[in-house]
Amino acid sequence: MNIEEAIRTRRTIGRVKKDPVDRDVIEKLLDAATWAPSHHNTQPWSFIVMTGEGRAKLAEGYARVSAAAVPGLTGQPLEERLAKERVKAYRAPVVIAAVCSPPGDPRAVPAEELAAAHAAVQNLLLAAHANGLGAIWRSGDPMYHPLMKETFGLAADEQFVGFIYIGYPDMKAPEPHRTPASAKTVWLER
C-alpha cells in the first residue's frame, strides 16, 4: 500500500475483535510513530502500551475520574457507574496511550511539541491501517482530567494526546466524507 492510498483509505474503526495483536506488530506501529516530524528534533512523545490485564490501569483511571464527578454518589449506584467506566478500557485488545513528553529543550514551543505528538499518533494510525488493523483515536474529558494523569504517573509537563484502541476490524469501514482541499485553500501568487 502506498502512502497516498493509506491516507485515503484509513478510517476510524471503533469495533475490533478480541483477538490479540502480536507484540512485533505493535512495536512496528510504535516505530512508525517515532518518525513524525518535530521542531528542533525534540521527539516529544512517549507511549504506554496496555494489553491483557495491563488495561486495568486505564480502567482505574476512568473509574477515578467518574467517581470524582459525583462525590455524593455511594453504594450500588456508584459501583454500577464505576463498572460501566472500567469496561471502556477493554473495548480493544490493545490500547496505546500517547503522551506528549517534552524533553525540555528551551527552543521548543509547547504548542509545537503537542503538534509533534499528534503527528506521531497519525503515523501510528496509518501504520495500523497498513498492517490490517483497525484503530480509533479516543480522547475526551477523562483523558484531560488530573486524576487520569495521576493514575499513570505522568510528570507535570506531560499530557495525554490520545488513547488509541487497536485490534483487528470487526466492522465495515465507514464511507469517507471529506471536503475537497480546494474548498479550504487560498492561493497567494505573485
Query: Cα(9)–Cα(183) distance, rounded to whole angstroms?
Result: 21
Specify the number of domains making up the chain: 1
In a domain, 63, yes or no: no
Binding site: which residues? 10-12, 39, 137-139
| pLDDT bracket for residue 1 (50, 70, 90) | confident
In a domain, 67, yes or no: no
Place of cell 490500547: 95
Mean residue pLDDT across the chain: 96
In a domain, 61, yes or no: no
In a domain, 9, yes or no: yes
Express each pLDDT in 55-83 by its tens digit: 999 999 999 999 999 999 999 999 999 99
| pLDDT bracket for residue 165 (50, 70, 90) | very high
Residues in the chain: 190
CATH number of the domain enclosing 106: 3.40.109.10
**CA 138 from chain center: how many Å?**
6
Q: Locate all alpha helices (DSSP H) within 70-184, ordered by sequence.
A: 75-87, 110-130, 141-144, 146-152
In a domain, 176, yes or no: no
Identify the domain containing residue 34 by its residue range. 3-51+90-171
Please check whether residue 122 is in contact with residue 35, taking contact to mean a CB–CB distance below 8 angstroms: no
Residues 6+ positions from 180 with CB-CB distance below 8 Å: none
In a domain, 115, yes or no: yes
In a domain, 131, yes or no: yes
The per-residue b/e assignment along 127-147, b for 16 or more CB within 10 angstroms, e otherwise, is: bbbbbebbbbbbeeebbebeb
Assign residue 140 a region (left: φ > 0; alpha: ψ between -120 and 50; beta: otherwise).
left
Q: Residue type at 182?
A: S
Please check whether residue 67 is in contact with residue 75, taking contact to mean a CB–CB distance below 8 angstroms: no
Binding site for FMN: which residues? 10-12, 39, 137-139
